[in-house]
Chain A
């Protein structure tokens, strides 16, 4: 029941907000609702740890002739991602208060609608329901970017939408094909889809279709070209939602759907997938060095990080998978922090061109500190969340192939290069006329970062609870495919 509440609650709030009138009330209501949602998720965590996951399962028939049922549930991995979602949305909403978006009713309605769709994706245990929520998440994201975004947003958002949608269509075809192969009577139920009997050739095609859809979403090189433009043009809340949570849908899909459904094809094509992901890592990191647009640089850094996570998932190594889950959560938090800072700079200095910035540390020391902390977490300094994930991922990849780990390890060097250089060019040095005007973070503005910083250090120093929550399911998954 709780699981369904997690989905229906934001939907209801979203509808209410869409028709709201009083701007102030809308903002507060949206924030309160998102915090409540987080409380629900935390309650689900408690239930999960105290009793068994079956308590979180909800099932009811929907389109019976096709075997589609509304089946929602949470295991450790979904729970962590749902927690990430419900944790980040209040932070994003809180941050958006300072930005004064026009038509706040629609805006917050869209954000909560996205949250609902995301939770739906992470908790769906029925193939068609998964697909429906997958597509649903795309729609509000499109509107958020198109209505509140920066220059040239229509064309770029359109490209993002069509590109992602095309990938998902392949996934739909694969799902339908799988349905035909499930034991009679056909069903889209998760357990049935896993039990579908596929010939090796069929497995390869189904794998390819799923992989394409997820690879576009994540994104994995070379399907990434929609991403830098979209992240740069989206409003801060939009890029935080997209980079912080939505791309995790793709990674989650790989773990939840590709691994159990097409394990043989996955193992067979793993070297290619890992090579592709690591190529993207190096490629994106190198490009990030010369980027002049702050948000594009962060976007490329995101491609690099998720490339490492993807590579880790494909090793099918226990440590790498745990690292992948932790890194998903860490990356969500860190990238949200980075985009928050970038949004602040863009708003106060009026530009996000790094060549036009400089000396901000002098004018805005609080911002400089916060920025440095998030940056260090992003480049995986030990005792931050980024390090735990990266260490486990590289360890797992190393066990699979030391050569791949050496290439993956280049992110250690390259991320330091582009991040520190970016920080230096924006924060150090002398101020110029553009940056002279910038005021520092107010205490309230600083307070928005506190939850993120807390999580950075919590996951970095005491990751035990997170590792445990995911660990059981990862072991189950691995034993399932052996």
Chain B
């Protein structure tokens, strides 16, 4: 505990923001649906890390408990998302989002 509290919270903040931004950029730029999902996971995990850090910093376990909730939801969401991607691949043989643009006017 004490080893963790010697690292200033600002370090965690910057680190997680960077991770988050990498995730956002990945969502925006990447064409592969799987990679986009991974980037979303990256964003979620950066938030998880930040929550845990703050929970130690504030001495409030609620943050870490919330991390568990988020992990469960993220797992469920990944499962559903990957299932959708698999099905799309089966029908259209592609997971490039520039190709998968049929839900339009």
**Direct contact between A and B in the complex (CB less than 8 angstroms)?**
no
A residues whose Cβ falls under 8 Å from a Cβ of B: none
Q: Give chain B's interface residues, CB within 8 Å of chain A.
A: none
